[in-house]
Structure 1
Amino acid sequence: MAFSQLEIDASQIEAMAKIFEEAKAKAPKAISRAISRTGAMTKTQVVRALTAQTGLKRPVIVRAVKAKPGAMSYALHSRGGDVSLKYFGARETRRGVSAAPWNHRQVFAGAFIKGGRFPNRVALGFGGQVMARAGKSRLPIGKRKSGLFIPKEMISGATAAAFLRTVNTVLPARLQHELQAILGGHAPA
């Protein structure tokens, strides 16, 4: 017959109670630091995923996605409209302008960047914007847009998944780390 005994030492519980009481005042600062660090890491992952998802260059995405850290929050936001084809590596061909919105290269027939007859095309002074005629006549002309909206892309697809995955994996670990730091290396139970 085996005999087992479980024993609870009240002095250990009293020591942990003192540690938690001391940490109580410092806990909001630890939570704030964990949220801030997680937010910064999340922004990196969102920028990376949004760059791959949209086909835009990284500096364009970095300018578009803004972080707003708070005491107990961290928000990522973006605003803007229909992105011009200029930002998708647009280049002129005989059939139109080739650009790659959503990382998928396609030809936009009838669009142009330069003026004149091939092969002696000259810049029109529109700063590399992709233009298209509004009707059958020569004028008026207007900018050709891609149909991609950064704010809409930010909350869908791989970008939304990257946001949720990063927050769900990093925040608990960071929170535990920050709490351990204020508890003097004692792991919270």
Structure 2
Amino acid sequence: MLNITAQTAGLREMMQPLAAFGERLPNAQANVLNRMLTKTRSAVVPALVKQTGLTRRIIDKAVRPYRASPQNPRVMLITRGGEVSFRYFGAHEVAGGVAATVRGKADFVEGGFRRSGPRGRRQMVSKLNGQVYVNVDGGRWRGKIMKEKSGVFIPYELVSGQTAATFNRMVETDLLAEVEREMARLLPTGGR
């Protein structure tokens, strides 16, 4: 809160617009931060899609904005979670395993499977939930399987590589311009 006191009448009249500016400052600060959050998220999400190889729909669900208010002038892009399964990278069975596109590159899981049944009549089974599994019982089949993961962690990807560079570029170039624009709207102009 901005607190201004003045003793003379002329000075007091000149200071009134600045006092009004101080009252509107917390709202203006939250507005600037929220506009920057929206712009930054709009730029970071496509970069994250390209960096990970996940679909836009999945990244949109994973990266959530935390907006500012006059009482809490802080914004965040929040994401959480562990290692992403192959299922979300367009995994499909091919001869000898499962193929998927992870981080924009073809990836192959030797001996992996998504379907069940004898060769020629294999079909998706709800019990396997579309995930990619491998047999962990050696050459024999006793039903011991393990889910295969991709090695992609969305929280780590958000703060590294092209996504982090995009975020830093947005903050360096656009934040100052947004603050200047909001200050010009709030500050009293001479003669108007």
Normalised to the residue count of structure 1, the TM-score between the two structures is 0.83
Q: Hey, what does 1:11 align to over in structure 2? A: none
Aligned residue for 1:148, secondary structure, equals strand
Unmatched segments (≥5 aa) in structure 1: 1-14
Among 171, 178, 181, the residue aligned to 1:177: 181
- Asked if the contact 1:114/1:123 (under 8 Å) is kept, the reply is yes
Alpha-carbon displacement from aligned partner over 1:43-93 (angstroms, at most 9, x marks no partner): 111111111100000111111111111231101121111100000000110
Residues 145-174 of structure 1 show CA distances to partners (whole Å, capped at 9, x for unaligned) of: 101111111110001111111112221111
Task: Give the match for residue 10 of structure 1.
Answer: none
Letter in 1 for 2:84: V
Alignment of 1:24-103 (within 5 A): 24-71=22-69, 72-103=73-104
Preserved contact between residue 132 and residue 141 of structure 1 (Cα < 8 Å): yes
**Percent identity over paired residues:** 35
Q: Which residue in the other structure is 1:115 paired with?
A: 116
Name the counterpart of 1:146.
150
Partner Cα separation in structure 2 for residue 74 and residue 169 of structure 1: 17
The two structures, once aligned, show a CA RMSD in angstroms of: 2.2
Q: Counterpart of 1:73 in structure 2: which amino acid? A: R
- Give the Cα–Cα distance (whole angstroms) in 1 for the partners of residues 37 and 125 of structure 2: 44
What do the CA deviations read for 1:105-161 (whole angstroms, capped 9, x no partner)?
Answer: 121111011123433222232221111112213221121110111111111000111
Amino acid at match of 2:161: G
Write out per-residue CA displacement over residues 5-50 of structure 1, whole angstroms, 9 at most, x where no aligned residue: xxxxxxxxxx987654542332222121101100111111111111
Larger RCO, structure (CA 8 Å, separation 6 or more): 1
1:98, distance to aligned residue in structure 2 (A): 0.4
| Alignment: residue pair count | 173
Indicate whether 1:163 and 2:161 are aligned.
Answer: no
Q: 1:178 to 1:16 in 2, by over 3 A?
A: farther
Higher mean displacement: 120-129 or 141-150: 120-129
For 2:135, which of 116, 133, 136 is the aligned residue? 133
